[in-house]
Amino acid sequence: MSDVIHVAVADDHPMFRAGVVMSLREEEDIEIVGEASDASTALALARAELPQVMILDINMPGGGLEAARSIAAACPATRIVMLTVSEDEADLAAALRAGACGYLLKTIEGDALVAAMHRAMRGASVVAEEMTGKLVAAYRDAATLPSSGEPAAPAAPSAIEQLSPRERDILRGIARGASNKEIARDLGIAETTVKIHVQHVLRKLDVSSRVQAAVAATEHGLT
């Protein structure tokens, strides 16, 4: 199969790593090309196999952030996704500065992880919904985005003006880091309706991720 995504997984907890590998191996278009348990082995694996996506844990021996920096420098085509228990915004910002394109929490469901691999492979940033608000806060405080491939330029005012009142409500929810389910509950609408609105918001703002949409909201005072 020509469209198979080659993925490598680095985590120092064998049982968790095995679970991640098992979840991904169930997909016909994902191939696990190797596993590692520390930063140095992860770097060696990345250099040897040149995976298209590399999953790293932040707190593994040798440091996941150090591994991300080294892999980003040695294998620039590899998309790095952090998979961690840390919900600290400083870790999130550091991971993106280190070259990661994604930051996911270990509470993620298997199907969501698979979807994240596909989005990362397509060039999108994959940040856990729970972390979006924290990323926006870090951006607001620092006045610049970490270098993660996300554009620092805000959406044009005309793009914001295209949003309907309901879409602006949705965008405010995205900016504070709310999930689709939480936005649906707050607005008293169906979660499927929220998903449709989110797609419309991303298209109208000409952005590819919730993070970029949240930054646009912050830039234009919609938070």
CATH (domain of 102)? 3.40.50.2300
Range of the domain at 126: 5-131
Looking up residue 157, the CATH number of its domain turns out to be: 1.10.10.10
Of 100, 131, 162, which residue sits at a domain end?
A: 131
Q: Tell whether 76 is covered by a domain.
A: yes
Q: What does the angle CA 142 – CA 147 – CA 149 come to, to the nearest 5 degrees?
A: 130
Regarding whether 202 and 103 lie in a shared domain, the answer is no
The H-assigned helical ranges of the chain are 14-25, 39-49, 64-74, 89-97, 110-121, 129-142, 157-161, 165-175, 180-187, 191-205, 210-219
Same domain, 126 and 172: no
Same structural domain, 70 and 168? no
Considering the domain architecture, whether residues 118 and 200 belong to the same structural domain is answered as: no
pTM: 0.68
Do 126 and 157 lie in a common domain? no
Whether residue 142 is contained in a domain is answered as: no
Tell me which of 97, 131, 165 is where a domain ends: 131
| Residue 146 maps to a domain | no
Rounded to 10 degrees, the C-alpha dihedral 202/181/103/163 comes to 20
Number of CB atoms found within 10 A of residue 40's CB? 14
Give the count of domains, the chain.
Answer: 2
Residue 136 lies in a domain: no
Residue 186 lies in a domain: yes
Per-position pLDDT tens, the chain of length 223: 458 999 999 999 999 999 999 999 999 999 999 999 999 999 999 999 999 999 999 999 999 999 999 999 999 999 999 999 998 888 888 888 888 988 999 999 999 999 999 988 887 778 887 787 777 666 655 544 444 444 444 455 567 888 999 999 999 888 877 788 889 999 999 999 998 999 899 888 887 677 778 777 877 777 6
